[in-house]
Chains A and B, each alone.
Chain A
Amino acid sequence: MPVVDAQVVSKRFLLRHNASSELKVRFLGLFHQKRRESIEEFWALRRVSLRIDHGEAIGLIGRNGSGKSTFLKLVAAIHRPTSGRVLVTRGARISSMIELGVGFHPELTGRENVFLNAAIHGLARAEIEAVYGSVVDYSGLEHFIDVPIKNYSSGMYMRLGFAIAANLNPDILLLDEIFAVGDADFQHRCIGTVRRFLDDGKTIVFVSHAPSSVRAICRRVCVLEEGELAFDGDVTGGLAFYEGLLAQRAARKSGFTRPIAEPSEVGDADLDNAAHRLASGGHWSETGLWQFEFLLNRRLDRSHHVLDVGCGSLAAAVHLMRFLDDGHYWGLEGDRALLEAGAAIELPRAGLDPERGHFILNDTFELDGIPHAIDVAVANSLFVELPFNSVARCIVSVVRKLAPWGVFYATWFENPDPSDFDPIVRPSGVTTYSDRAPYHYPFEMIEQVCNAVGATVDRVDDSTHPRGESVMVISRRSDRGRL
C-alpha cells in the first residue's frame, strides 16, 4: 500500500526574464503580443512516477537543479504539479523539513516561537502543549527558552527548528539537505532521530548529496537527472549511478571529453626514457605499481574515493582507475604537461577511458571541486619536490577533504636528525637536501603541521618504496582507527 503515489508528474516553472514584470508589462501586454513573451519555461520535473510504500526510507539524489526539492515540495503540496498528480494517504501528517527554523520570528522568545511554529504546522492547542516539553528537552535549550531568539546562536536556532520538526510526529517526513548545515554533533543527532522515525514505521523521503548519510538512512535510492527519474533501486546501485553522472560531468568540464583515439605505438622500453616518465626521479612503472599495491595491502576497496595528490603522468592512475568504481578516482596535478602526457599517452595505452576518473589541474592544492569526502588520499614522491610551506599547504588541503575515517598516505625522504641540515646521500645514490629539491624533512616538522590542523601522523613500517622513501599516514585525529 503506497503512502505517496506520484503519477506521471511534471512540473514547469516560468522564469520571468523581464525584471519589471509588473503592472507595466501586463498593461503593455494588452496591446503588444510580443511584450508578453519574456517568459521562459523550465521543466523541473518530467513525467516522474514514483510509489513510496509505508515505512520506506527513500533517498533522493541528483545534481543541483535536477528536481529533488521540487519533488519534495510537490509531495508536501507546496507546489501543484503542472500535469500528473501526487497522491498521499488521506489524513497523513506530512512534516517537511525543507528549511529549519523557517517562520521563526526573531523578536519572539523560544517558547512563543515553538507555539507559533507548531501552529503553522497545523497542531491544535492541546497537541502543542502535549509536545512542548519534549521539544524543549530535545533542543536542550531550557535556559534560553524565554529569551528572544534573535539572541540565539545559529546553532541554537537550528536545534530549536529541528526539535520542533522532530516532535511534530509526522507520518511522512520530508528532509531536504538539512543535515548539511549543522556540525558533526548535530548531524549525528539528526541521523539518530531519523533512524528512530524509521523504527516507528514512518515513511521518509530524504534529499541529500552526502552518500554516507544516504547509506545510513535509506534502503532505496532514486536518482533524478534533469528532472527525469533516471534510477530507482538499491542504495549501492543508486550511489554508483550518481557517481557515474558526476564523473561524466567532471570529465566534460576538465576538457578530457574526447577519448584519445590512437594508442601510442612506442614500446615500453623506449617510453621509459620519455620525458614525462623520467620526471620526479624515474622508476615510472615501479612507483605506480608500488603505490597501487601499497593501497591494496591496506584494504583499498573499489567503492572508496581515492585522491591521488600529484598524480603526475598517471603512473598510479592506470592501476587505480581500472580497480576503482567509475568516477571514484580523483587526480590532482600542478604540471599541465605531465598530466596531459599521462592522459594522451598512458591512459590509451592502458585502454582506459579518461571519463572513468576526474582530474584537477592546479598547483595550489585547491580541492573545492571534489563534491564529497575522500576515503583514501595518497601523495607518492610529491613531498620530495616541495618546499616545506607547500608540503604544509598540501597536508591542510587534503585533510580538510578527508572523510572522518579517511586516511592520507604520503611518502617522503626522512631527515632523522632535526638539528642536522647537511645533505644526505641515500642508499640508491640520490642526494637529498633540507633547502632544495630533492628535499628531506624531519618527521617532527610534519607532525607539527598535522597537529596544528587537528590531524595525527604516524610512520608506516614499509621499506618497499622503489626510491627508498619512507611512508607516513595522516588521519583526522578524532576518528583514528576507523578504517
Chain B
Amino acid sequence: MSVVADDRSAASAPDCQLPQRPAWLLSIVLDGALGMSAYLASYWLRFQGDRLETFLPGVWSTMPIVVTGQLAALVVARAYASRPRIDWLGRVIAGVVGGTVAASVLLGVTVGFEGISRSAFVADAVLLSIAALGWRGAWVLRARALARAGARLVLGDDLVDRSSEMTTLRAVVASLYSYRELLKNLVLKDLKLKYRGSVFGFLWSLLNPLLMIVVYTIAFTFILRIRTEGFVFYMMLGILSWTFFSNSAAMSTGAIIDNAGLLKSVLFPRAILPIGTVLFNFAQYLLTVSVFLPAMMIWYQVPFAVPMLLFPAFLGLQVIFTVGIALILASWTAFFRDVRHLLEVALSALFWATPIVYELRQVPEQFRLLILLSPMSPFVVAYQQVFFYREWPEATVWLMASAYAVGAFVAGVLLFLAVEDRFTEQL
C-alpha cells in the first residue's frame, strides 16, 4: 500500500498559476508614462501637420487630468490589486476605457468641448489599452519563461511535468513547429472537405466574388451612378480581405468547442486548431486573390506601381492580427457560448465601420480617425492605398496596422495560454 499520509497543504496549494502582478509602484509609473505618450500620439494621429501646433497647448494643459483619470480608473478596476484574478487583463482594459471616458466628460463639462477632440480620446483609449496590455503581457510571458526554467532546474532533465510544458510563448512556437504536419493536414482536410464531391470544386469559390463584381458593377454604373473610376475594383479589394477576416473569425469560434472529443483524449498544442482555421481561410483568400487581383488589374487597366510590393507585408500583418483574434474568440467561446451570436452582430457593425463600400476620404474629417480605429480599417485602407490609389501607405496606417497586429496577437496568445489547460474541463 502506498497511500500517502494526509497532506492538507497539497490540496490547498495555489490555484494553478494565476499570474503574479508586477510591483504596483512600477506599474503606476509605467502606466502614467504610457498614458502621456498615448495621449500625445492620439492627437498626432488626429491632427497632422500644422494643425497639431494649434492644439498642442490644450493637450499639455489637459494631460494631467486625463492621465490622472485613467490611473484612478485603473485603481478602481483593481488593476493594481495584490492578488489579481484571472480576468486581470480584462480589468486593465476596462480601467483604461472607463478612465478615458470619465476624463473626457469631466473636461467637456469644465473646459467645454471646443478645445478637445473626441476622436483623439477614442484613439487614446485604444492606444493606451494596447500599450498597457502589451507591457503586462510581456511581463507575464517573461515570468512564465523564468518559472519554467526554474522548474527544469529543480526537476532535472530526466522527468518533466508535461502539463506545464507548453505554457511559454517559446514552447508554443516550438511545438507548433513540430506539429506543422498536423497544421498542414488540418488545412488540407478543410479544403478537401469543402470541395469534395462537387463537380466544379474550387471554381465555386471564384463564382461568388465574380457574381458580386457583376452585381456591384450594374448597381454602381446604372443605378447609383457613382462616378469614381474603377470603384468596383476598389470595393473588391476591401470585400475580399474582409471576407477572409470575417470567415476566419466566425469559424474560429467553433475551433475549440467543436473538437471537444479530440481535445479530451489526445494531447497536442491546442492553439493549432484556431490557427488552422485562419490558415484555411488564408489559403482560400490567396487562391481567390491570385485569380482576381491580376484579372481585375487587367480589366480595369490598373498599371503596376511600386507600392504594390507592400501587399505581402500588410497581408502578413493581417494574418497575425487574425490569428490573435481567432485565439481570443476560440478560447472565449469555450467559456461563453454567447460569443458566437455576439460576433455575428459585431461583424456586421464592423463591416460598416470599415471603409469598404465607401472611401475613407469621403468621411468627414473629424470622424476619419474613428473609422481608421475600427479593427480591420488599417489593413483594408492599406490595400486600397497600394492598389487603387497606387501610393505609399500613410504613417498612421502603418502604425495602426502594426499596433493591431501585435496587440491582438499578444492578447490572443496570453489569453489562450492562461485558459488552455481549462478547455478540457469546460467542454
Name A residues whose Cβ lies closer than 8 Å to a Cβ of B. 1-2, 5, 8, 10, 13-14, 22-24, 26, 46-50, 73-74, 76-90, 94, 96, 98-99, 102-103, 105, 107-108, 112, 115-116, 119-125, 128, 228-233
Contacts and interface: CB of A to CB of B under 8 A. Distances in A.
A121 B266 contact: yes
Contact of B338 (A23, A86, A230): A23
B149 to A, nearest CB: 15
Given A22-B337, A46-B11, 13 more contacts: A8-B4, A8-B10, A22-B338, A23-B338, A81-B163, A86-B161, A87-B160, A89-B160, A103-B262, A112-B189, A120-B262, A121-B266, A128-B181
A236 to B, nearest CB: 15
Contact of B158 (A85, A89, A112): A89
Interface in B319-343: 336-339, 342
Interface in B402-425: 421, 424-425
* 4 closest cross-chain pairs (CB), A and B: A77-B162, A87-B159, A83-B13, A119-B182
A360 B184 CA distance: 57
A86 B262 contact: no
Interface in B141-164: 155, 157-164
Contact of A77 (B1, B7, B165): B165
A291 to B, nearest CB: 38
Contacts, number: 143
Given A78-B264, A231-B1, A87 B179 contact: no
B6 A232 contact: no
Contacts of B163: 74, 77, 79-81, 85-86
Interface residues of B, number: 49
Given A23-B336, A81-B163, A86-B162, A102 B7 contact: no
30 contacts: A1-B158, A8-B4, A8-B7, A47-B10, A49-B2, A49-B4, A73-B424, A76-B266, A77-B163, A80-B163, A82-B15, A83-B13, A87-B160, A88-B162, A89-B160, A90-B157, A96-B265, A98-B264, A99-B261, A103-B266, A108-B189, A112-B189, A115-B185, A116-B189, A119-B184, A119-B185, A125-B181, A228-B3, A230-B3, A232-B3
Given A8-B7, A77-B163, A105-B189, A82 B16 contact: yes
Contacts of B266: 76, 78, 96, 102-103, 120-121
Contacts of B339: 23
B267 interface: yes
A14 B425 contact: yes
B193 interface: yes
B16 A103 contact: no
Contacts of B164: 80
A108 B192 CA distance: 8
B343 to A, nearest CB: 12
Interface of A is mostly: mixed
B98 to A, nearest CB: 13
Contact of A116 (B11, B185, B338, B421): B185
B267 A26 contact: no
B50 to A, nearest CB: 46
Contacts of A5: 159
B113 interface: no
Interface string B1-38: 11110110011110110000000000000000000000
A196 to B, nearest CB: 23
A231 B161 CA distance: 25
B4 A102 contact: no
B176 to A, nearest CB: 12
Contact of A119 (B179, B421, B424): B179
Nearest to B190: A105
Contacts of A120: 182, 262, 266, 268
A232 B4 CA distance: 12
A229 B192 CA distance: 48
B178 interface: yes
A84 B161 CA distance: 10
Contacts of A98: 264-265
B196 interface: yes
Contact of A78 (B2, B158, B196, B424): B424
Contacts of A128: 181
